[in-house]
Amino acid sequence: MKRELKENIIRNFFFFLASLSIFCLVGIAVVLIKEGLPILEEVTLGEFIFGEIWSPIFEPPAFGIFPIIIGGLAVVFGALTIAVPFGVAAAIYISEVAHPKEKEIVKPTVEVLATIPSIVYGFFGLVFMAPLVRDTFDIPVGLNVFTASIVLGIMAIPIIASISEDAIASIPNSIKEASYALGAGRWETIIGVIIPTAVGGISTAVILGFGRVIGETMTVALVAGGAAIIPTSIFDPVRPMTATIAAEMGEAAIGSPHYFALFGIASILFGITLTTNIIADILLHRFRRKLTGES
Amino acid sequence: MKARKIKELISFTILRLATVAVLLALFIILHFITSEGIRVINWEFLTEGPRDMARAGGIFPAILGTFYTVVGTMAIVLPLGVGASIYLTEYATQGRVIRALRVGINNLAGVPSVVFGLFGFTVFVVFFGFGASILSICLTMAVLTLPIIIRSSEEALKAIPQSFREASLALGATKWQTIYKVVLPHAFSGISTGSILGASNAAGETAPILFVGATFFMLHLPDSIFDETMLLSFHIYALLTEGIFPHYQIPIAYGTALVLITLILSVNLVAIVIRNRIRKKKKW
């Protein structure tokens, strides 16, 4: 009896530790909403999200974050335009084309890209990529949507590549063998069988990549240019949500409208990443079920 | 037949070129940091503090700060993360509860890093009153790395054959005795390599620590966990955005970046080598 009691206590203790992640997640949501909600005493929700002027420290202040949201999305879509084709191509190459010896070198090397800290990418973008873009396109400043997209795109490649590769690897061999048995070549099998089967997993990769890129902070804080305007060209500077928080949190007094507005931005950002993660989770489950159902 | 072969060759070449381009990007970034960074690194740079408002001198306090952060974070997160993974692999049975736990872990892993910074500021710095301090940094980083540690130690626990557990239970051991005496000792090396990788990620994070205790310039080394600290990652950011002498600051930023990625990459390499060696040795 005593032994059982002890076992039960231990079991419950581990259960408590396992549920800490949920507590933290809920805690984050509560903090963001509690500190972000008071901004709605200054402006309406519509004015906050769709207002076109962000000037929190001028008198009278304006708390419109529309340029910040649009600027952030512009950089994210730019980054994915680079990361998705390269990431998926690298995944296909590593899993289906490369010689096993070659794979042993290429795969960990691509993973090294993921271990480089974002501040180093930002530094690289600021000191190397921005002057390059400025001189190549003959524009006055190299810190803009285009440069930020390239640097963020490179950062996102290993994420897209590794999830896509998992998706391709999880396709049962029998499906590929059936294709070969029907006389298809390697490339025909890739384009006709492997990619269509893995598309669920690859779309999960894209969605997770979206969530990761929109939350990226240091790179855009250094490279995106920092102007809270709605971009009309890819060479316009922008100030994404994360960059706004990183740059302004230090100067916003606790309890001021500016402080609440920054938490309001963080709440929206949190909402976006939570939604994308849940969608990705559902898609991944569906993909796995489809695979086991078919094989 | 020939047209098919040519088509395949062209397609494979395109795929290979795309992959080579990715590797080339990595090479360019590493080369960019290394070639400039190596010029400023010398003994003084690694062992002395900054001088003249970080216009000259070294980065020793930042190296030390990053070391404290990584050690402190791991001391907090390891017991929590390993405990959580024990529940998930040893106790939990498939069902709604475990599904909910997994959704929580996956979503915590997806929270943007700057949001952890706001959370850490509100909860640890202000609410608990730890102030901008090493303690607040470590607690914030612990929340951020928790999902990483849970996942990697889960993998290590899952790698242990079920027969080991069954043998122990058949000898009359309880579940906890089995975990404590059989599962954990065998999983030890796997858990430690996983956590080394988690720790090296923690060393590079910048956004979460911006508001919870990182500082640009310190005249003395921190002497308690309630002190602010310099950090390698934050030092790069501060050198690029604060101060008014970019001409002096940017070379130091190169040197700091080189030290940071050298630390991270070498720690990663060691962990991977250890992991491969274990995999070869242990064939059960």
Q: What is the CATH number of the domain that holds B155?
A: 1.10.3720.10
Nearest residue to A261 via CA among A72, A76, A61: A61
* Inter-chain touch B91–A11, beta carbons under 8 Å: yes
Q: What is the pLDDT of residue B118?
A: 96
Residue A15 lies in a domain: no
Beta bridge partners of B50: B57
Residue A9 lies in a domain: no
| Tokens at A55, concatenated | 């000037």
Domain coverage including residue A197? 45-294
Q: Measure Cα distances from B128 to A218, B121, B194 in Å.
A: 27, 10, 31
CA distance B124 to B131: 7
Please report residues of A whose CB lies closer than 8 A to that of B86.
14, 17
Task: Tell me which of A125-134, A190-199, B43-52, B256-265 is least confident.
Answer: B43-52
How near does any CA of chain A get to the CA of B64, in Å? 18
> Same domain, yes or no, for B29 and B117?
no
* Inter-chain touch A18–B84, beta carbons under 8 Å: yes
Cis check: omega of the bond before B161, within 30 degrees of 0 = no
Q: Does B76 touch chain A (CB under 8 A)?
A: no
* Inter-chain touch A35–B176, beta carbons under 8 Å: no
Please report residues of A whose CB lies closer than 8 A to that of B233.
117, 119
Residue A142 lies in a domain: yes
* Inter-chain touch A6–B176, beta carbons under 8 Å: yes
Residue A31 lies in a domain: no
CA distance B139 to B126: 13
Total domain count, chain B: 2
Q: What is the pLDDT of residue B283?
A: 61
Please report residues of B whose CB lies closer than 8 A to that of A89.
14-15, 18-19
Total domain count, chain A: 1
Domain coverage including residue B10? 2-40
Nearest residue to B155 via CA among B79, B82, B70: B82
Question: Which CATH number covers residue A95?
Answer: 1.10.3720.10
Beta carbon pairs, A and B, within 8 Å = 242
Three state DSSP letters for A11-77? HHHHHHHHHHHHHHHHHHHHHHHHHHHHHHHCCCHHHHHHCCCEECCCCCCEECCHHHHHHHHHHHH
What residue spans of chain B are helical by DSSP H? 2-40, 43-47, 60-86, 96-110, 113-120, 134-158, 162-170, 175-178, 184-204, 232-241, 246-281
How near does any CA of chain B get to the CA of A106, in Å? 8
Task: Tell me which of A39-48, A160-169, B47-56, B108-117 is least confident.
Answer: B47-56
Q: Does B26 touch chain A (CB under 8 A)?
A: yes
> Same domain, yes or no, for B74 and B204?
yes
Average pLDDT, chain A: 92
| ipTM for the assembly | 0.92
Q: Which among B126, B147, B207 has CB closest to A218?
A: B207
> Same domain, yes or no, for B33 and B78?
no
Residue A3 lies in a domain: no
Q: Does B112 touch chain A (CB under 8 A)?
A: yes
Torsion angles phi and psi, residue A254, rounded to 5: -55, 130
* Inter-chain touch B264–A28, beta carbons under 8 Å: no
pLDDT band at A4; cut points 50, 70, 90: confident
**Best of A7, A120, A189 to disrupt the B interface by mutation (most B CBs within 10 Å)?**
A120
> Same domain, yes or no, for B48 and B129?
yes
Please report residues of B whose CB lies closer than 8 A to that of A126.
240
- Size of chain B, expressed as the number of residues it contains: 284
Name the residue in chain A with its Cα closest to that of B176.
A7
CA distance B140 to B146: 10
Residue A186 lies in a domain: yes
pLDDT band at A40; cut points 50, 70, 90: very high
> Same domain, yes or no, for B35 and B144?
no
Name the residue in chain A with its Cα closest to that of B261.
A116
Q: What is the pLDDT of residue A290?
A: 82
Q: Does B4 touch chain A (CB under 8 A)?
A: yes
> Same domain, yes or no, for B54 and B170?
yes
Q: What does the pLDDT profile of chain B (284 residues) look like in tens digits?
A: 688 889 889 999 999 999 999 999 999 999 999 999 999 999 989 988 888 777 788 899 999 999 999 999 999 999 999 999 999 999 988 788 888 898 899 999 999 999 999 999 999 999 999 999 999 999 999 999 999 999 999 989 998 999 999 999 999 898 899 999 999 998 988 888 888 888 888 899 999 999 998 888 777 788 888 888 999 999 999 999 887 777 888 999 999 999 999 999 998 888 878 877 777 776 66
> Same domain, yes or no, for B226 and B198?
yes
Return the number of other C-beta atoms located less than 10 Å from residue B242's C-beta.
12
> Same domain, yes or no, for B145 and B264?
yes
pLDDT of residue A295 exceeding 50, the answer is no
> Same domain, yes or no, for B32 and B138?
no
> Same domain, yes or no, for B103 and B23?
no
Residue A212 lies in a domain: yes
Evaluate whether B29 touches B261 at the Cβ level (below 8 Å): no
Evaluate whether A211 touches A118 at the Cβ level (below 8 Å): no
Which run of H or of E encompasses A279? helix A257-294
Residue A49 lies in a domain: yes
The Cβ-side half-sphere exposure at A187, using a 13 Å CA radius, reads 13
> Same domain, yes or no, for B62 and B86?
yes
* Amino acid at the residue A245: I
B199 or A29, which is more confident = A29
Q: Does B124 touch chain A (CB under 8 A)?
A: no
Evaluate whether B149 touches B77 at the Cβ level (below 8 Å): yes
Please report residues of B whose CB lies closer than 8 A to that of A251.
none
- Size of chain A, expressed as the number of residues it contains: 295
DSSP-based three-state secondary structure for A284: helix
Single pTM value for the model: 0.92
Please report residues of B whose CB lies closer than 8 A to that of A112.
26, 265, 268
Please report residues of A whose CB lies closer than 8 A to that of B118.
31-32, 35, 245, 249, 262-263, 266
Please report residues of A whose CB lies closer than 8 A to that of B148.
none
Q: Which among B147, B211, B272 has CB closest to A249?
A: B211
pLDDT band at A1; cut points 50, 70, 90: low
Q: At what angle do helices B232-241 and B60-86 cross, to 10 degrees?
A: 130
| Tokens at A246, concatenated | 């990183």
> Same domain, yes or no, for B147 and B6?
no
CA distance B41 to B259: 9
pLDDT of residue A133 exceeding 90, the answer is yes
